[in-house]
Structure 1
Amino acid sequence: MSPANPSTSSPRVAQRGSLFEPVQLGPITLPNRIAMAPLTRCRALADGTPGPMIVEHYTQRASAGLIISEGVNISRSARGYDLTPGLYTDLQVEAWRRVTQAVHACGGHIFPQLWHVGRVSHPDLQPGGALPVAPSAIQAEGTTSYTPSGFKPCPTPRALATDEIRTIVADYGRAARRALDAGFDGVEIHAANGYLLEQFLRERTNRRTDRYGGSLEDRARLLLEVAEAVAAVCGAGRTGIRLSPVSPVNASEPDRDPLNTYRYVVERLNALGLGYIHIIEGVTQGPRDVPGGFDYAALRNAFRGCYIANNGYDWHLAIEACEEGRADMVAFGRLFIANPDLVERLRLNAPLNEPDPASYFGGGEAGYNDYPRLVPHPAPR
């Protein structure tokens, strides 16, 4: 896999325009530039299948230009949170097909976010009660996993053997195939927020001495192998990836030179022809500004596909980012929790419902599918 050469590669073409105008994402024309960000809500069934409640949830939000689903486990050992869905059994594929059919019937587009949590897990969620796996046996201090009996501290994980890593790459490829079988329009790879792929990428969580650790090129190897495997299944234009260059969540301390790390990654993803990069700007669910700052424009300019911006965007900031060409799309998370009709509310600059944090994880319809939609004002007589 040869890196893109910034001096010879074609310049990116900014898709400047209104937040509410169509945008091209790989081979797909989306009706607007608003994405629903992945939101773990822990409302799947015990076997990892999405039930009718999840079908309804995504159908309500199908007006988004693109729905990126909650994190979807690629295998049983990828799990770190109870009642999260998977894409590793035939039953899960069949259940997801009901979701994608319902979204498509409303004119929507939906990608699953393929997920392996790595060390952010607990033996209560692992096959046979095994330890979670990671690049190195370094505990995610202060981090918890959502188990069937509640949140529990993550233990010190087991370091993966080199030959086990090939199995994980294959798991991503199989999950991508199952995603297409389930009717998804493409796939997003979760390489952010301190989960497995970011654990390999970050220098403080990867102490390996084999070909998957040490230099930046080796620490990035797993992420790039996964991207290549998924793109080979879905097509590069239907493959995206989520990155969080400076977010420290899940005990994932940023690299000493995060711009160098992520510019390297993005240039090599660019060489694969991926459809988009989905960038968490700042601290996940936290401030956009971090000490020392970060040059997101450098990543956007290095990447020739679609740039989806995320974190802390409101009506004004999102409109400005698209019109000025700083982003091709903007992803909203918590605003979509409480506003199933967020696209229309943003179009009208209408008041927004406030989400209820107590209902974020687990439970039923309350705080999930019962947020009120915008009631149009009656036409004047």
Structure 2
Amino acid sequence: MNSGTGPGTITPDGSPVEFYTLLPPGEEARVIAAATPPNGTVLELGSGVGRVTHPLLEAGLEVVAVDESAEMLAHVRGARTVCARAQELDLGERFDSVVLASYLVNLPDAELRHELLASCARHVAEGGSVLVQWQPPEAHDQWEAGRGGERDGVGIMMTELEEVSPGTFAAHHALHGGRAGLDAVLPVAPPHRGRPGRRPGARGARPRRLSHRGPHVGAGRTGMTGADFLRAIADGSVESSPHLTHLGLRLVLVEPGRVELVWRPGPELTNRSGVVHGGYIATALDDACGMASGSAAERPTLHLTMNLNVDYLRPVRAGEVYTVAGTVTHRGRTRILTLATVTDADGRLCAQATSSLTPNRLTTPG
């Protein structure tokens, strides 16, 4: 049984209604609209407060929004609403598109999954589309306590993860943010199916329960900037990414918009010519670009590389010490431009890269 706590109404599945009214629209509406004929009809199962409903209406589509929570549906404007459990719905109507959202198809109850899909089949028109929001089992391998994200001041953090049976996981989440400084807890999230024998977020032996109560929960609320977070990695109070250790990279200097790393590549990074493979050099440059971009952020935020152009000038040799520096050359709201260099002990330029990045506002480092 799912449950939740926090201000305002909590729905039967444990969702705090007020929190969901603060979430901004995502890309779902664009995908649904592309699969639906112009001015077509959409049945949205699990509509919630209308985060997807409202953009669909703006696209000129006719929407019937279905949710088991009357409190959620009270926030839907401009669409016909039906308060009902999606698996029991039988409107006697057909729609151009039927949407099964919120990863409901990932629930571990096979009978319930079949009922949900049967409801989709009952309501889709001949030649229509059923759009199911689904995660493959391997996607859950990335789950771990302490991961979360923030977007437009609204954040969610996974605080506890438990494998309740082989391949089935339940998670606890903490929610925060919004106009009223909302704080809420989802003590038990719906169990989801993953791969049996594989604990999300790690390899090898796995404990039954993972918890995170460290400084990164709510880091965006405690005033930690992107530069602060990277300095914590540099001084060892936050564990760095495992691939940095593999490459032999160590972060030593962080200023807003600029970072430096010391690089001593090992022999395992060399190619048949006996010098460091260009792919590893590109990775080191990409890391410097990403960290420089992150160091300029107001809060800890991962950045996605959109483009990386590399020029190789001199060979990089295993066992020698190099400096990898990254600098922000332009910072916009959705696009950041950076320059990164690799120089040897004599200050000679060995390689450089220019990169464009964009903030991943749904993910924070964890």
TM-score (norm 2): 0.31
**Structure with more helix by fraction:** 1
Structure of greater Rg:
2
Which gives a bigger RCO, structure 1 or 2 (Cα 8 Å, sep 6+)? 1
**Structure with more strand by fraction:** 2
